[in-house]
Amino acid sequence: MLDADFFRRWMTVTAASVEREADRLTALDSPIGDADHGSNLLRGFRAVSAVLDKEPPDTPGAVLVLSGRQLISTVGGASGPLYGTLLRRTGKALGEAAEVDEARFATAFRTGVEAVMTLGGAAPGDKTMIDALLPAVDALDAGFGAARAAAEEGALATTPLQARKGRASYLGERSIGHQDPGATSAALLIAALAEANGE
Ligand code: ADP
Ligand code: MG
Ligand code: MG
Protein backbone atom coordinates (compact mmCIF):
# COMPACT_ATOMS: atom_id res chain seq x y z
CA MET A 1 0.00 0.00 0.00
CA LEU A 2 1.08 3.58 -0.72
CA ASP A 3 0.81 6.04 2.16
CA ALA A 4 1.44 9.78 2.59
CA ASP A 5 5.15 9.10 3.22
CA PHE A 6 5.41 7.35 -0.13
CA PHE A 7 3.90 10.35 -1.92
CA ARG A 8 6.17 12.78 -0.09
CA ARG A 9 9.09 10.61 -1.14
CA TRP A 10 7.85 10.73 -4.74
CA MET A 11 7.94 14.54 -4.62
CA THR A 12 11.35 14.79 -2.91
CA VAL A 13 12.92 12.24 -5.30
CA THR A 14 11.48 14.27 -8.21
CA ALA A 15 12.90 17.46 -6.69
CA ALA A 16 16.34 15.84 -6.38
CA SER A 17 16.24 14.63 -9.95
CA VAL A 18 15.18 18.09 -11.18
CA GLU A 19 18.20 19.54 -9.29
CA ARG A 20 20.48 17.05 -11.12
CA GLU A 21 18.88 17.48 -14.57
CA ALA A 22 17.91 21.18 -14.61
CA ASP A 23 20.73 22.17 -16.96
CA ARG A 24 19.81 19.42 -19.43
CA LEU A 25 16.11 20.41 -19.32
CA THR A 26 16.99 24.03 -19.98
CA ALA A 27 19.35 23.00 -22.81
CA LEU A 28 16.52 21.01 -24.43
CA ASP A 29 14.25 24.07 -24.10
CA SER A 30 16.83 26.25 -25.86
CA PRO A 31 16.46 25.26 -29.56
CA ILE A 32 12.66 24.85 -29.45
CA GLY A 33 11.65 27.10 -26.54
CA ASP A 34 12.89 29.91 -24.31
CA ALA A 35 15.53 28.04 -22.30
CA ASP A 36 13.79 28.11 -18.94
CA HIS A 37 12.29 24.64 -18.41
CA GLY A 38 14.98 23.57 -15.94
CA SER A 39 14.80 26.79 -13.93
CA ASN A 40 10.99 26.73 -13.97
CA LEU A 41 10.91 23.23 -12.47
CA LEU A 42 13.75 24.00 -10.04
CA ARG A 43 11.76 26.88 -8.60
CA GLY A 44 8.59 24.79 -8.49
CA PHE A 45 9.95 21.63 -6.91
CA ARG A 46 12.07 23.55 -4.40
CA ALA A 47 8.82 25.18 -3.26
CA VAL A 48 7.11 21.78 -3.16
CA SER A 49 9.90 20.28 -1.02
CA ALA A 50 9.83 23.26 1.32
CA VAL A 51 6.08 23.16 1.93
CA LEU A 52 6.02 19.37 2.40
CA ASP A 53 8.82 19.73 4.93
CA LYS A 54 7.13 22.52 6.82
CA GLU A 55 3.56 21.23 6.90
CA PRO A 56 3.55 17.52 5.90
CA PRO A 57 -0.03 16.48 4.99
CA ASP A 58 -1.16 13.13 6.35
CA THR A 59 -2.96 11.61 3.36
CA PRO A 60 -1.73 10.77 -0.17
CA GLY A 61 -4.40 12.99 -1.70
CA ALA A 62 -3.46 15.97 0.44
CA VAL A 63 0.26 15.59 -0.40
CA LEU A 64 -0.47 15.77 -4.13
CA VAL A 65 -3.06 18.56 -3.90
CA LEU A 66 -0.66 20.72 -1.86
CA SER A 67 2.24 19.97 -4.23
CA GLY A 68 0.15 20.80 -7.28
CA ARG A 69 -0.96 24.07 -5.76
CA GLN A 70 2.66 25.02 -5.07
CA LEU A 71 3.64 24.36 -8.69
CA ILE A 72 0.75 26.46 -9.98
CA SER A 73 1.58 29.38 -7.71
CA THR A 74 5.39 29.38 -8.14
CA VAL A 75 6.04 28.46 -11.79
CA GLY A 76 5.36 31.16 -14.37
CA GLY A 77 5.81 28.98 -17.48
CA ALA A 78 3.30 26.67 -19.13
CA SER A 79 4.69 23.67 -17.29
CA GLY A 80 3.64 25.02 -13.85
CA PRO A 81 -0.13 24.99 -14.36
CA LEU A 82 0.15 21.75 -16.37
CA TYR A 83 2.16 19.78 -13.79
CA GLY A 84 0.21 21.52 -11.02
CA THR A 85 -3.06 20.34 -12.53
CA LEU A 86 -1.65 16.83 -12.96
CA LEU A 87 -0.80 16.53 -9.26
CA ARG A 88 -3.82 18.40 -7.93
CA ARG A 89 -6.33 16.40 -9.96
CA THR A 90 -4.60 13.11 -9.18
CA GLY A 91 -4.67 14.03 -5.50
CA LYS A 92 -8.34 14.98 -5.61
CA ALA A 93 -9.16 11.65 -7.24
CA LEU A 94 -7.41 9.84 -4.36
CA GLY A 95 -9.87 11.39 -1.91
CA GLU A 96 -9.15 11.20 1.82
CA ALA A 97 -7.82 7.63 2.03
CA ALA A 98 -4.84 7.17 4.37
CA GLU A 99 -3.39 4.52 2.03
CA VAL A 100 -4.09 3.59 -1.58
CA ASP A 101 -3.09 0.56 -3.63
CA GLU A 102 -1.30 0.83 -6.97
CA ALA A 103 -4.49 0.16 -8.95
CA ARG A 104 -6.28 3.04 -7.26
CA PHE A 105 -3.30 5.30 -7.87
CA ALA A 106 -3.25 4.27 -11.56
CA THR A 107 -6.90 5.25 -11.96
CA ALA A 108 -6.36 8.58 -10.19
CA PHE A 109 -3.25 9.36 -12.24
CA ARG A 110 -5.20 8.74 -15.46
CA THR A 111 -7.73 11.34 -14.26
CA GLY A 112 -4.83 13.74 -13.67
CA VAL A 113 -3.32 13.20 -17.13
CA GLU A 114 -6.74 13.64 -18.75
CA ALA A 115 -7.11 16.95 -16.89
CA VAL A 116 -3.76 18.09 -18.34
CA MET A 117 -5.00 17.19 -21.84
CA THR A 118 -8.20 19.16 -21.26
CA LEU A 119 -6.34 22.18 -19.88
CA GLY A 120 -3.60 22.30 -22.53
CA GLY A 121 -5.54 20.81 -25.43
CA ALA A 122 -2.65 18.52 -26.38
CA ALA A 123 -3.25 15.10 -27.91
CA PRO A 124 -0.71 12.26 -28.16
CA GLY A 125 1.84 13.02 -30.89
CA ASP A 126 1.72 16.82 -30.39
CA LYS A 127 5.28 16.70 -28.92
CA THR A 128 4.46 17.60 -25.32
CA MET A 129 4.66 16.08 -21.83
CA ILE A 130 1.55 14.07 -22.80
CA ASP A 131 3.75 11.90 -25.03
CA ALA A 132 5.53 10.60 -21.90
CA LEU A 133 2.61 10.78 -19.44
CA LEU A 134 0.01 8.86 -21.44
CA PRO A 135 2.24 5.84 -22.24
CA ALA A 136 3.17 5.78 -18.54
CA VAL A 137 -0.50 5.71 -17.54
CA ASP A 138 -1.16 2.90 -20.00
CA ALA A 139 1.76 0.89 -18.54
CA LEU A 140 0.94 1.54 -14.87
CA ASP A 141 -1.12 -1.65 -14.55
CA ALA A 142 2.14 -3.54 -15.14
CA GLY A 143 3.86 -1.61 -12.32
CA PHE A 144 6.01 1.48 -11.74
CA GLY A 145 9.04 -0.02 -13.49
CA ALA A 146 7.02 -0.59 -16.66
CA ALA A 147 5.62 2.96 -16.45
CA ARG A 148 9.15 4.36 -16.13
CA ALA A 149 10.31 2.49 -19.27
CA ALA A 150 7.20 3.61 -21.19
CA ALA A 151 7.70 7.28 -20.21
CA GLU A 152 11.38 7.23 -21.21
CA GLU A 153 10.53 5.66 -24.53
CA GLY A 154 7.74 8.21 -25.05
CA ALA A 155 10.10 11.11 -24.33
CA LEU A 156 12.71 9.81 -26.81
CA ALA A 157 9.99 9.32 -29.43
CA THR A 158 9.18 13.07 -29.39
CA THR A 159 12.40 13.89 -31.29
CA PRO A 160 11.11 13.28 -34.86
CA LEU A 161 7.72 14.90 -34.12
CA GLN A 162 6.59 18.38 -35.14
CA ALA A 163 5.25 20.35 -32.17
CA ARG A 164 1.59 21.29 -32.30
CA LYS A 165 1.21 22.82 -28.81
CA GLY A 166 3.22 25.23 -26.67
CA ARG A 167 6.07 27.51 -27.69
CA ALA A 168 7.80 24.86 -29.82
CA SER A 169 4.78 24.86 -32.17
CA TYR A 170 5.69 28.43 -33.27
CA LEU A 171 8.72 26.88 -35.00
CA GLY A 172 6.61 24.65 -37.23
CA GLU A 173 8.80 22.13 -39.06
CA ARG A 174 11.91 23.50 -37.38
CA SER A 175 10.75 21.85 -34.14
CA ILE A 176 11.50 18.47 -35.75
CA GLY A 177 14.71 16.77 -34.59
CA HIS A 178 14.68 17.96 -30.96
CA GLN A 179 13.52 16.06 -27.90
CA ASP A 180 10.69 17.80 -26.06
CA PRO A 181 11.79 19.25 -22.69
CA GLY A 182 8.42 18.66 -21.01
CA ALA A 183 8.24 15.03 -22.12
CA THR A 184 11.77 14.64 -20.75
CA SER A 185 10.85 16.07 -17.34
CA ALA A 186 7.67 13.96 -17.32
CA ALA A 187 9.89 10.88 -17.69
CA LEU A 188 11.87 12.09 -14.64
CA LEU A 189 8.63 12.40 -12.65
CA ILE A 190 7.64 8.82 -13.55
CA ALA A 191 11.14 7.48 -12.86
CA ALA A 192 10.90 9.08 -9.40
CA LEU A 193 7.72 7.10 -8.78
CA ALA A 194 9.62 3.84 -9.28
CA GLU A 195 12.58 5.09 -7.26
CA ALA A 196 10.35 6.18 -4.36
CA ASN A 197 8.98 2.63 -4.38
CA GLY A 198 12.50 1.19 -4.13
CA GLU A 199 12.57 -0.04 -7.76
P1 ADP B 1 7.19 27.74 -21.30
O2 ADP B 1 6.99 27.11 -22.64
O3 ADP B 1 6.05 28.60 -20.87
O4 ADP B 1 8.54 28.42 -21.17
P5 ADP B 1 8.29 25.43 -19.93
O6 ADP B 1 9.52 25.69 -20.72
O7 ADP B 1 8.49 25.30 -18.47
O8 ADP B 1 7.18 26.52 -20.23
O9 ADP B 1 7.61 24.08 -20.40
C10 ADP B 1 7.59 23.71 -21.76
C11 ADP B 1 6.98 22.32 -21.90
O12 ADP B 1 5.61 22.35 -21.52
C13 ADP B 1 6.99 21.79 -23.31
O14 ADP B 1 8.21 21.13 -23.61
C15 ADP B 1 5.79 20.85 -23.35
O16 ADP B 1 6.16 19.52 -23.00
C17 ADP B 1 4.90 21.39 -22.26
N18 ADP B 1 3.72 22.03 -22.84
C19 ADP B 1 3.64 23.28 -23.36
N20 ADP B 1 2.39 23.53 -23.78
C21 ADP B 1 1.66 22.40 -23.53
C22 ADP B 1 0.29 22.02 -23.72
N23 ADP B 1 -0.59 22.86 -24.25
N24 ADP B 1 -0.10 20.78 -23.32
C25 ADP B 1 0.80 19.93 -22.75
N26 ADP B 1 2.10 20.24 -22.53
C27 ADP B 1 2.53 21.45 -22.92
MG1 MG C 1 10.29 27.34 -21.66
MG1 MG D 1 9.01 30.35 -20.40
What ipTM score was computed for the predicted complex, to two decimals?
Answer: 0.99
**Domains contained in the chain, number:** 1
* Minimum-distance ligand 1 atom for the alpha carbon of 129: 16
What does the H/E/C string look like for the chain? CEEHHHHHHHHHHHHHHHHHHHHHHHHHHHHHCCCCHHHHHHHHHHHHHHHHHHCCCCCHHHHHHHHHHHHHHHCCCCHHHHHHHHHHHHHHHHCCCCEECHHHHHHHHHHHHHHHHHHHCCCCCCCCCHHHHHHHHHHHHHCHHHHHHHHHHHHHCCCCCCCCCCHHHHHHHHHCCCCCHHHHHHHHHHHHHHHHCCC
Q: What is the CATH number of the domain that holds 30?
A: 1.25.40.340
Residues of the domain holding 125: 2-196
For 53-99, the pLDDT digits (tens) are 999 999 999 999 999 999 999 998 999 999 999 999 999 999 999 99
Question: Which ligand is closest in space to the CA of residue 34?
Answer: 2
- Ligand 1 centre to CA of 3 (Å) is 30
